[in-house]
Copies of this chain bind each other. A is one copy, B any other.
Amino acid sequence: MIVFSGDLDKVLAAFIIANGAAAMDTPVTMFFTFWGLNALRRPESVKVKKSLIESMFGWMMPKGPDKLTLSKMNMGGMGTMMMKQVMRQKNVYSLPRLMESAKEQGVRIVVCTMSMDVMGIGAEELIDGVEYGGVASFLAAANESKTSLFI
């Protein structure tokens, strides 16, 4: 599974599928690239030396799952807030909870090193328990998988 998007709704869908598959004992590899990296950023500021452009990217992009917004109907954050509230009311796991559960179930999370390089995101800015790899690492996982999705 490639997680290219950093939209809350798409990352949610990715982790719901990943958890579902893991619960059925299917090994899952999630390969995070481009905007998907934002879902794996630590919420706190981490001191890293960056170029001006890298600092700007880092500053403008959401820091971690709690900061992601909906791809549609975000409406300045109101839609995202409403969606999260509804999910709580309906007892649907939040994104941070789904991510924890995925890790507990042994879902592999691989971060695209080229995206880290281009977006100027260092390993110390990302959550623990992830692996690092390039496109070859995605292709190897895809080759062993029955189902591949680009999200």
Point out residues on A near B: beta carbons under 8 Å.
2, 4, 6, 9-10, 13, 16-17, 19-21, 24, 26, 33-35, 53-54, 56-57, 60-61, 72-73, 82-83, 85-87, 90, 92, 114, 117-120, 134-136, 138-139, 142-143, 145-151
With beta carbons under 8 angstroms apart, the residue of B34, B139, B143, B149 that contacts A9 is B34
Name A61's closest neighbour in chain B (CB-CB): B73
* 10 examples of A-B residue contacts, CB within 8 angstroms: A9-B35, A13-B33, A13-B34, A16-B135, A17-B135, A17-B138, A19-B135, A20-B138, A147-B148, A149-B150
Name A91's closest neighbour in chain B (CB-CB): B117
Contact A72 B20 (CB under 8 A): no
Count identical subunits in the complex: 3
Q: With a CB–CB cut-off of 8 A, which chain B residues contact A117?
A: 90, 92
Q: Give, as a whole number of angstroms, the nearest-CB distance from A24 to chain B.
A: 6
Q: Give, as a whole number of angstroms, the nearest-CB distance from A69 to chain B.
A: 11
A-B pairs, 10 with minimum CB distance: A20-B135, A149-B150, A142-B147, A147-B148, A90-B117, A150-B151, A53-B82, A9-B34, A86-B118, A16-B135
Q: Give, as a whole number of angstroms, the nearest-CB distance from A45 to chain B.
A: 20
Contact A87 B118 (CB under 8 A): yes
CA distance A146 to B61 in the complex (A): 34
Contact B135 A114 (CB under 8 A): no
CA distance A73 to B60 in the complex (A): 8
With beta carbons under 8 angstroms apart, the residue of B6, B92, B138, B149 that contacts A2 is B149
